[in-house]
């Protein structure tokens, strides 16, 4: 996962292979078309591996972690990414999605690594709730970016259907992850405050 996010970051910002105002897929025969395919395939493979979380939860009989949010997010990201690749091809606007999503997953899997490798410190990892906030920021940025490309880059060749799908999924994920954050991090704190006041 780290290598995928590093690749996206390096090629988008350091090398500057794309116009960030309108990230269109490279045409066939472009010198970086193969790189685009490799990055896209690595991202798609990561999404399939993320979906395997659900399989591992079932095998460990850890059903409390299998929620609608978990299933919807991982199924959409793996099968949706595959379907969009088949329909729209590789790269382009997906590079922004891939970069942000890979960065967030790098932070998230670092947390999972620490909590599984060092179970004694799990309760002391104070930044767990910020992972969800980071995911929410990611979805706000992707929604904003899709709106920007659709309405402020009028000559951009990114298919409008893809931009509208990004907007819709951004809103859906903001709702689902926001609901998760409120339920897991804000309500327990409010319940403790109310208990102390009673």
Domain annotation covers residue 137: yes
Q: Is 153 left (phi over 0), alpha (psi -120 to 50) or beta?
A: beta
pLDDT score, position 179: 95
User: Is residue 62 scored above 90 in pLDDT?
Assistant: no
**What burial letters (b/e) apply to 96-105, b meaning 16+ CB within 10 Å?**
bbbbbbbbbb
Q: Out of 93-97, 105-109, 110-114, 132-136, give the one with best mean pLDDT.
A: 132-136
Q: Give the pLDDT band of residue 138 (cuts 50, 70, 90).
A: very high
CB neighbours of 70 closer than 8 A, spacing ≥ 6?
53, 54, 57
Domain annotation covers residue 12: yes
Domain annotation covers residue 104: yes
Q: Could you give the CA distance from residue 40 to residue 84 in angstroms, rounded to a whole number?
A: 11
User: Is residue 139 scored above 90 in pLDDT?
Assistant: yes
Domain annotation covers residue 196: no
pLDDT score, position 26: 79
Q: Percent of the chain, pLDDT > 70? A: 90
Q: Give the pLDDT band of residue 1 (cuts 50, 70, 90).
A: very low
Structural domain of 175: 2-18+26-190
pLDDT score, position 85: 81
**Average confidence score pLDDT of the chain:** 83
Tokens 């685009």 belong to which residue?
Answer: 36
User: Is residue 162 scored above 50 in pLDDT?
Assistant: yes
User: Is residue 198 scored above 70 in pLDDT?
Assistant: no
Q: Give the pLDDT band of residue 99 (cuts 50, 70, 90).
A: confident
Domain annotation covers residue 195: no
Tokens 């079932």 belong to which residue?
Answer: 58
More confident site: 57 or 174: 174
pLDDT tens readout for residues 46-58: 888 888 878 888 8
Active site residues: 73
CA angle at 50 for the pair 49 and 56, rounded to the nearest 5°: 85
Q: Could you give the CA distance from residue 101 to residue 25 in angstroms, rounded to a whole number?
A: 19
Which of 3-7, 110-114, 148-152 bottoms out in mean pLDDT, i.e. has the lowest?
A: 3-7
Domain annotation covers residue 198: no
Domain annotation covers residue 197: no
**How many domains would you assign to the chain?**
1
């Amino acid at each position: 996962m780290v290598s995928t996010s590093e690749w996206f970051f390096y090629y988008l910002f350091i090398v500057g292979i794309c116009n960030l105002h309108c990230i269109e897929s490279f045409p066939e025969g472009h010198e970086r078309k193969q790189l685009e395919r490799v990055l896209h395939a690595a991202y798609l493979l990561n999404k399939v591996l993320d979906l395997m979380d659900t399989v591992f939860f079932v095998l460990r009989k850890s059903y409390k972690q299998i929620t609608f949010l978990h299933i919807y997010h991982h199924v959409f990201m793996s099968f949706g990414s595959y379907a969009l690749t088949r329909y729209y091809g590789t790269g382009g606007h997906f590079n922004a999605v891939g970069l942000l999503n890979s960065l967030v997953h790098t932070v998230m899997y670092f947390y999972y690594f620490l909590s599984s490798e060092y179970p004694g410190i799990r309760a002391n990892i104070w930044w767990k709730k910020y992972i969800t906030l980071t995911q929410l920021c990611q979805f706000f940025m992707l929604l904003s970016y899709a709106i920007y490309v659709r309405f402020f880059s009028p000559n951009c060749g990114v298919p409008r259907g893809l931009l509208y799908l990004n907007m819709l999924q951004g809103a859906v994920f903001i709702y689902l992850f926001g609901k998760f954050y409120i339920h897991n991090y804000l309500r327990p704190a409010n319940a403790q405050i109310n208990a102390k006041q009673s």
